[in-house]
Structure 1
Amino acid sequence: MIAVWIVAGILLALFLLLLCPVTIVVGFQKEFTIKIRYLFFTYQVAPPKEKPKKEAKEFPESEKKEPEEHKKSKFQEILEEKGISGLLKLLRQVGEVATRTARRLFSHLVVTRLHLEILVADEDAAQAAVNYGYVCGIVCTALSAFLHNCICKRYHVQITPDFDQKESSAVLDFQAHIRLLFLISGVLGALMHLVQLQKEGGQAVQSIS
């Protein structure tokens, strides 16, 4: 009987942990800052924390190996890209994910703060107008898809053209949370969907060959 109560207590504790929210905080002002918080733990995604440099050991020139090139993911490339272009690419990626692969996952996402201000600047008035239309198209399309598939409590979006300054600028302050239970189920569902697509693709190739 005691073992049953212990197992029940462990299962209840796990269930309560699954109900706790995972908070995502994203900021942008010349560069990205991304943090993920769960209970008392915080993980900084970007910018990565600098690791202490170890003293390099000296090797003979014959034993020296050339450093291998590390392939970066699209997400890493977007984060490392500074300026408004990197922010626009991230917004476009989020909009595509919200409408395609992770619609069910985003339906459980609760946005508590979304503050986005973009200043589109160029000394040439005609070019500034073209850039302004381009930015509005990307931002409106991405955010409409994102906000349509999630729960948003408060947001402020402002895009302003400026014909006096040379460089454009942007400020993003975003915070949202999702229960760990929905996060895990959404990720598992997306993985199962991906595996199913790969199986169907393999069967189609075999039938054609």
Structure 2
Amino acid sequence: MIALWILLGILLFLLLLLLIPVYIRAGYGETVTLDVQYLFLKFRLLPAPEKPKPEKKPEPAPKQEKKTEEKKPNAMTEKAKRFINAEGFSGFMQLVGGFLKLTATQAVRIIRKIRLRDFDLYVMTGGEDAAEAAILYGQVCALVYPAAEVLFTLTKCGKRHRRISVDLDYNVKTPYVQLSAAVSIRPLVVVQYGLQYLIGLLPIYQRFQNPRKRKTQNAPAGKPVRN
């Protein structure tokens, strides 16, 4: 009985950890920055810390060149060819379509659970030619604002936490972008939809490993001719 209570306590503790959100902050300007924070732990992923340069060792004596070995065929490519031979190209495209649909569906579900805490995007356009700079400004506006609106709708970002600005300056020779964003997500969401993705991926993987043979239709036999 004590062991059962200990097991339940461990499970509740793990559930609590999965409910605590992970905070991710990204930035883009002169360099790309990416920080991840969970509880009191904070990690800098980008830019990656510089590794100490290893000491130079004396170069070994040149060895005799070995004969180039023949490249082995890619296992995935061979399986794809076998699948196409068994089910045809249409069957292969149906399999790929099912994989892409499953991936996109689970990705959108995860994105909908992401909380966009802060979003600040500033784009400055310009160029040596005034006409080209004006065209570029219109293209950037037509791309940035609708895409950002879709993002804000999916992540349910409030108007107070989002700032977007696209400017045009003919004195600027090279356009540039500055971005700062902060998001949070609960690990439980990633675990839940990740398991659903793997379960949905299992029949696709099994079919890819064991393709079904195409059915061949025999032509109907002709009727006997009466004398």
What is the CA–CA distance in structure 1 between the aligned matches of 2:124 and 2:39, rounded to whole Å? 36
What is the CA–CA distance in structure 2 between the aligned matches of 1:35 and 1:115, rounded to whole Å? 16
Equivalent of 2:119 in 114, 120, 136: 114
C-alpha displacement at 1:130, in angstroms? 1.8
Alignment of 1:52-67 (within 5 A): 52-63=52-63
Provide the identity percentage: 31
Instruction: Give CA-to-partner distance per residue, 1:146-202, whole Å, 9 cap, x none.
Output: 222112132011111111111112211100100110122233444455555556677
Give the structure 2 partner of residue 183 of structure 1: 190
**One-letter identity of the residue aligned with 2:38:** Y
Aligned residues: 177
Which secondary structure state, in structure 1, belongs to the residue aligned with residue 113 of structure 2? coil
**One-letter identity of the residue aligned with 2:26:** V
C-alpha displacement at 1:101, in angstroms? 5.1
Which secondary structure state, in structure 2, belongs to the residue aligned with residue 102 of structure 1? helix
Which secondary structure state, in structure 2, belongs to the residue aligned with residue 144 of structure 1? helix
**One-letter identity of the residue aligned with 1:178:** I
What is the CA–CA distance in structure 1 between the aligned matches of 2:170 and 2:21, rounded to whole Å? 44
Instruction: Give CA-to-partner distance per residue, 1:120-148, whole Å, 9 cap, x none.
Output: 11131111112112222332343233222
Q: Tell me if the contact between 1:102 and 1:190 (Cα under 8 Å) persists in the aligned partners.
A: no
What is the CA–CA distance in structure 2 between the aligned matches of 1:186 and 1:102, rounded to whole Å? 9
Q: Tell me if the contact between 2:122 and 2:166 (Cα under 8 Å) persists in the aligned partners.
A: yes
Give the structure 2 partner of residue 164 of structure 1: 171
Give the structure 2 partner of residue 173 of structure 1: 180
C-alpha displacement at 1:105, in angstroms? 0.2
C-alpha displacement at 1:10, in angstroms? 0.5
Alignment of 1:35-74 (within 5 A): 35-63=35-63
Q: Tell me if the contact between 2:36 and 2:42 (Cα under 8 Å) persists in the aligned partners.
A: yes
Indicate yes or no: 2:91 matched with 1:103: no
TM-score, length of structure 1 as denominator length: 0.72
Indicate yes or no: 2:8 matched with 1:3: no
Give the structure 1 partner of residue 151 of structure 2: 146
C-alpha displacement at 1:11, in angstroms? 0.8
Q: Tell me if the contact between 2:106 and 2:193 (Cα under 8 Å) persists in the aligned partners.
A: no
Provide closer, same or farther for how the CA distance between residues 204 and 106 of structure 1 changes in structure 2, counting only shifts above 3 A.
Answer: same
Query: Which of the pair has more CA radius of gyration?
Result: 2
Structure 1: state its 5+ residue gaps. 66-97
Q: Tell me if the contact between 1:120 and 1:160 (Cα under 8 Å) persists in the aligned partners.
A: yes
**One-letter identity of the residue aligned with 2:136:** N
What is the CA–CA distance in structure 2 between the aligned matches of 1:24 and 1:64, rounded to whole Å? 51
Provide closer, same or farther for how the CA distance between residues 208 and 15 of structure 1 changes in structure 2, counting only shifts above 3 A.
Answer: same
What is the CA–CA distance in structure 1 between the aligned matches of 2:206 and 2:147, rounded to whole Å? 30
What is the CA–CA distance in structure 2 between the aligned matches of 1:189 and 1:31, rounded to whole Å? 36
Indicate yes or no: 2:22 matched with 1:22: yes
Instruction: Give CA-to-partner distance per residue, 1:55-82, whole Å, 9 cap, x none.
Output: 13223241599xxxxxxxxxxxxxxxxx
Structure 2: state its 5+ residue gaps. 66-102, 217-227
Indicate yes or no: 2:33 matched with 1:33: yes
C-alpha displacement at 1:207, in angstroms? 3.9
C-alpha displacement at 1:114, in angstroms? 0.4
What is the CA–CA distance in structure 2 between the aligned matches of 1:144 and 1:12, rounded to whole Å? 38
C-alpha displacement at 1:31, in angstroms? 2.0
What is the CA–CA distance in structure 1 between the aligned matches of 2:14 and 2:197, rounded to whole Å? 23
What is the CA–CA distance in structure 2 between the aligned matches of 1:16 and 1:126, rounded to whole Å? 57
Give the structure 2 partner of residue 88 of structure 1: none
